[in-house]
């Protein structure tokens, strides 16, 4: 029963891919609707430019771009997919792909990528993430997000401090670089929304080889990372970093404030995603050649552990213009367009060709290649598949803030996190 269906899909894929290679259209009067998630004016302008190039090469296809406000975009996309509204191509994130697949909203791209030359131009990690749900490619990633350490090399040099490679070294450097009288502080601490991410990162680094990378909140013995003695040391260190090496106002800092703290010269160290590279390059408050990026700090056991965030494009399962939608997906996911997208938005590229591109093999992006080639830089998975994931993120931010202001102890915070995730695993919500 399966053979004829596969054959049909294979014929469609071959026809489509032939069209891609020759630039020939599939018929007239097609309108595609694309909805994006991570919207911004600059990003939307670039995407429109790429779509215009696609339309020029495929005059029979008209593409309409839908750009919901960033804050509510994923919710809007979920509503559109649930109602099976008229959308053909959708931006999919690591946080949403499982939900969309479970709701049968995304097309299994296996028949297409099997004969698409561009599939082999993707890095092994990109192909792995594309098929992260059920082993089938439901999206093609366009870039990765990982943290690096942004560092003021001029201030480190003036203070006689070597670039930090471990969390203990980072904290010592932050303390030495802190001069409140000059409004200078060592580290851009994030005490507001999203602070849990940094708490988990340092706990993971201190737990090191005990962590199960496939289930990053658990140790290999089945207990949570929050129950380990190393977690206590890590959180006490995290607390010291805030109290002695960071601006007091960073208690309320989230993404924009911590980045601004670094780019304005108030702070000298920052842990953030690659998109901040562009922001830092454009900053007028930093002397030229005064900063660099370094691999994420390691824990006492010599390991650094962090997840790899990603996003990409998927075709809706209910698209009435499936072949044209896949054609647009193949265009946006080509090495030429993908590298352009990664450069313009400071993303970690998904194409192997990036290794020969000076923009990614030198300068601020070199830290990512160094991390990719270092086996002590371990990629871990967050428990996003558990129903309590969203609820825990909000509570964890509240818990960290309570810890920072002295309303909770390290033991209380870790105890509650351990209990929460032990119950989640026992409930088998994955």
Say if residue 94's pLDDT is above 70: yes
Say if residue 7's pLDDT is above 70: no
Q: How high is the pLDDT of residue 134? A: 87
**Hey, where are the domains in the chain?**
30-144+309-350, 148-307+379-427
Mean pLDDT of 281-299: 93
- CA 316, CA 44: separation in Å to the nearest integer? 21
Q: How high is the pLDDT of residue 125? A: 87
Question: Is the pLDDT higher at 325 or at 10?
Answer: 325
Task: Look up residue 362 and give its DSSP letter.
Answer: S
Mean pLDDT of 284-299: 94
Q: How high is the pLDDT of residue 38? A: 86
Domain topology for 30-144+309-350: D-Maltodextrin-Binding Protein; domain 2 (3.40.190)
Report how far apart the first and last C-alpha atoms of the chain are (Å, whole number): 32
- CA 373, CA 376: separation in Å to the nearest integer? 9
CA nearest to 238, candidates 424, 79, 355, 399: 399
CA 397 to chain CA centroid, Å, is 19
Task: Look up residue 222 and give its DSSP letter.
Answer: S
CA nearest to 371, candidates 263, 238, 274: 274
Q: Would you say the CATH fold of 148-307+379-427 matches that of 30-144+309-350?
A: yes
- The CATH superfamily assigned to 148-307+379-427 is Periplasmic binding protein-like II (3.40.190.10)
Tell me the two tokens of residue 54: 């696609």
Q: How high is the pLDDT of residue 26? A: 43
Mean pLDDT of 65-75: 87
Mean pLDDT of 119-144: 93
Mean pLDDT of 207-228: 96
Task: Look up residue 271 and give its DSSP letter.
Answer: E
Q: How confident is the model at residue 377 (pLDDT cuts 50, 70, 90)?
A: very high
Mean pLDDT of 116-145: 93
Mean pLDDT of 379-402: 90
pLDDT digits (tens, 9 = 90+) for 53-68: 999 999 999 999 999 9
Average pLDDT, the chain: 90
Q: How high is the pLDDT of residue 429? A: 56
Q: Are 219 and 225 in contact (CB under 8 A)?
A: yes
Percent of the chain with pLDDT over 70: 93
Percent of the chain with pLDDT over 90: 72
Mean pLDDT of 390-395: 90
Mean pLDDT of 124-139: 92
Q: How high is the pLDDT of residue 28? A: 54
pLDDT digits (tens, 9 = 90+) for 262-275: 999 999 999 999 98
CB contact set of 314 (below 8 Å; sequence gap of 6+): 89, 90, 91, 92, 97, 100, 106, 107, 109, 138, 139, 140, 329
pLDDT digits (tens, 9 = 90+) for 316-373: 999 999 999 999 999 999 999 999 999 988 899 999 998 888 888 888 888 987 888 8
Say if residue 282's pLDDT is above 80: yes
Q: How confident is the model at residue 150 (pLDDT cuts 50, 70, 90)?
A: very high
CB contact set of 260 (below 8 Å; sequence gap of 6+): none
Say if residue 25's pLDDT is above 70: no
Say if residue 169's pLDDT is above 90: yes
Say if residue 288's pLDDT is above 50: yes
Question: Is the pLDDT higher at 187 or at 364?
Answer: 187
Mean pLDDT of 26-47: 86
pLDDT digits (tens, 9 = 90+) for 302-319: 999 999 999 999 999 999
């Amino acid at each position: 029963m399966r053979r004829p269906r596969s054959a049909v899909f294979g014929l469609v894929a071959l026809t489509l891919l032939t069209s891609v290679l020759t630039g020939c259209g599939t018929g007239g009067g097609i309108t595609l609707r694309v909805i994006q998630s991570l919207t911004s004016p600059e990003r939307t302008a670039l995407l429109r430019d790429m779509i215009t190039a696609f339309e020029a090469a495929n005059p029979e296809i008209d593409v309409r771009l839908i750009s919901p406000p960033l804050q509510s975009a994923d919710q809007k996309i979920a509503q559109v997919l649930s109602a099976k509204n008229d959308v053909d191509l959708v931006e999919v994130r690591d946080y949403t792909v499982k939900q969309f697949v479970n709701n049968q909203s995304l097309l299994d791209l296996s028949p297409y990528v099997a004969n698409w030359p561009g599939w082999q131009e993707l890095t092994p990690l990109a192909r792995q993430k594309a098929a992260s749900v059920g082993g089938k490619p439901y999206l093609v990633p366009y870039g990765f997000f990982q943290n690096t350490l942004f560092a003021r090399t001029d201030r480190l040099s003036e203070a006689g401090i070597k670039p930090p490679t471990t969390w203990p070294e980072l904290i010592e450097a932050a303390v030495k670089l802190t001069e409140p009288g000059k409004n200078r502080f060592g580290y851009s601490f994030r005490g507001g929304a999203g602070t849990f991410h940094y708490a988990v990162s340092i706990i993971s680094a201190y737990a090191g080889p005990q962590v199960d990378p496939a289930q990053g909140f658990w140790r290999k013995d089945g207990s949570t990372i929050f129950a380990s003695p190393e977690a206590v040391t890590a959180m006490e260190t995290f607390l010291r970093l805030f109290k002695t090496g960071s601006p007091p106002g960073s208690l309320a800092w989230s993404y924009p404030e911590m980045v601004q703290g670094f780019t304005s010269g108030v702070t000298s160290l920052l842990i953030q995603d690659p998109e901040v590279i562009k922001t830092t390059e454009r900053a007028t408050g930093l002397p030229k050649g005064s900063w660099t990026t370094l691999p994420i700090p390691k824990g006492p056991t010599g390991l650094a552990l962090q997840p790899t965030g990603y996003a990409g494009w998927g075709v809706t399962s209910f698209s009435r213009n499936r072949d044209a939608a896949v054609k647009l997906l193949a265009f946006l996911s080509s090495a030429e367009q993908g590298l352009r997208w990664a450069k313009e938005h400071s993303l970690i590229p998904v194409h192997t060709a990036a290794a020969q591109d000076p923009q990614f093999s030198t300068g601020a992006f070199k830290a990512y290649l160094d991390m990719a080639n270092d086996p002590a830089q371990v990629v871990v998975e967050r428990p996003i598949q558990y129903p309590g994931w969203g609820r825990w993120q909000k509570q964890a931010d509240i818990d960290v803030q309570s810890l920072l202001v002295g309303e909770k102890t390290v033991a209380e915070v870790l105890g509650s996190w351990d209990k929460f995730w032990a119950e989640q695993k026992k409930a088998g919500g994955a």
